[in-house]
Structure 1
Amino acid sequence: MSAEIKLSQSTAIRLEQARGKGMPEEELLKAIQAKDVSAFDAVSEEEYRYNEFFSYADEHGENLEEAVKDGYRITFNTRGGLGIWLEKAFKVQPEKDFTVGEGIVTGLQLKPEQAEVLAKRLASNWVITESKDVPAGQELTLKLRALV
């Protein structure tokens, strides 16, 4: 990847929602290339629909195809949005698998490869401040950069 692909938190949540609901990468890429909103009907949720997915990405210069192929970094994470993105990306549940507080996420247990993805995707306003080995992989603490 020559230049880092940046996506809004909203776009990243929708991409991970599609992946998490079993949309194969090839189908995801076909839908993006064709700008076919209806291809996302099966993975759409009331809170996260795809009606504005392509127009928003175009308007904000988000390269969806490259993001799917090469990865991306979220431009900015709110604490609530970070919790939702973690849920969609890693199939973890807030208050069960991790806790979101004021400027901190604690108790997040991920497999090592998931922790690596998180480190690449996490917006620069958050940092991983602690990582300890646990039977499931790693237990991470994330903090708002301003609080570190």
Structure 2
Amino acid sequence: MENNKISLMDAYMIETLRSNGLSNEEMVALLEKKNISDLKQINTKFDFNNLINLYEQDKDTFKSVLQDGYTVKFLTMNGLKNLLQMKFDKDAEKDYEISDTGIQRLEIETHKLPALQQLLSINWIIEEQNDTDIDSSKKIVNIQIV
């Protein structure tokens, strides 16, 4: 199956709703009802009409985005940092180092690595580090722009 591709702003909206406790099913129900007021209570800065439009274009694909994951069409460095915080609760300088070419020494749970790999647009690559001091449930990775 080909990755579902969405915009960075759509990813921000989805991850903001998730971080505020909405399940995939609740998100779909609100979008189905076009219930913008409930969504605006979570974040007033987003135009959730865009998310409704994405949902209405192809409901099955949107549900797959929520269930199976997505790739951001074009991901900037700031976009990557924001999604690392929103989706994986990873903060710059605390959980990883920033370099001119990307992210260094990000420690991530092994089971979350596929979601991170899927998320990245084609202008990013992940390099796993061999670190014997870390337990097998975690990986140390660098994320580099190409």
Superposition TM-score, scaled by structure 1 size: 0.80
- Aligned-pair identity (%): 21
Could you tell me whether the CA contact under 8 Å between 2:128 and 2:139 is conserved in 1? no
Give the equivalent residue in structure 1 for 2:121.
123
Structure 1 residues 42-80: Cα deviation after superposition (integer angstroms, max 9, x where no partner): 43165xx2444336637x989533311222111111001
Alignment-derived partner of residue 142 in structure 2: 141
In 2, Cα distance between equivalents of 1:116 and 1:57: 24
Secondary structure of the structure 2 residue equivalent to 1:140: strand
Partner of residue 44, structure 1: 43
1:108 aligns with 2:96: no
Partner residue, 1:27: 26
2:54–2:62 contact (8 Å) kept in structure 1:
yes
What stretches of structure 2 of length at least 5 have no aligned partner? none
Aligned to 2:77: 79
Pairing 1:89-108 to 2, within 5 Å after superposition: 89-108=87-106
In 2, Cα distance between the equivalents of 1:25 and 1:57?
15
Following TM superposition, the consecutive aligned residue runs of length 4 or more in structure 1 with deviations greater than 6 angstroms are none
Q: CA RMSD in A?
A: 2.6
1:53 is the counterpart of 2:54: no
Distance 2:130 2:18 in 1: 28
Q: Which moved more, 1:32-41 or 1:77-86?
A: 32-41
Letter in 1 for 2:80: L
Given residue 53 of structure 1, which amino acid in structure 2 is its aligned partner? N
Q: Displacement of 1:85 after TM fit?
A: 0.7
Partners of 1:83 and 1:100 within 8 A in 2: no
CA distance in structure 1 between the aligned counterparts of 2:12 and 2:118, rounded to whole angstroms: 15
1:108-129 CA-to-partner distances (Å, cap 9, x unmatched) read 1111111111011111110002
Partner AA of 1:105 in structure 2: I
The structure-2 alpha-carbon separation of the partners of 1:113 and 1:82, relative to structure 1 and needing over 3 Å to count, comes to same
Deviating more after overlay: 124-133 vs 10-19: 124-133
| Unmatched segments (≥5 aa) in structure 1 | none
Q: Look up the equivalent residue of 2:73 and give its one-letter code.
A: T
Contact 2:126 2:144 (8 Å CA) reproduced: yes
Q: Does structure 1 retain, via aligned residues, the 8 Å contact 2:3–2:118?
A: no
* Matched residue type, 2:141: L
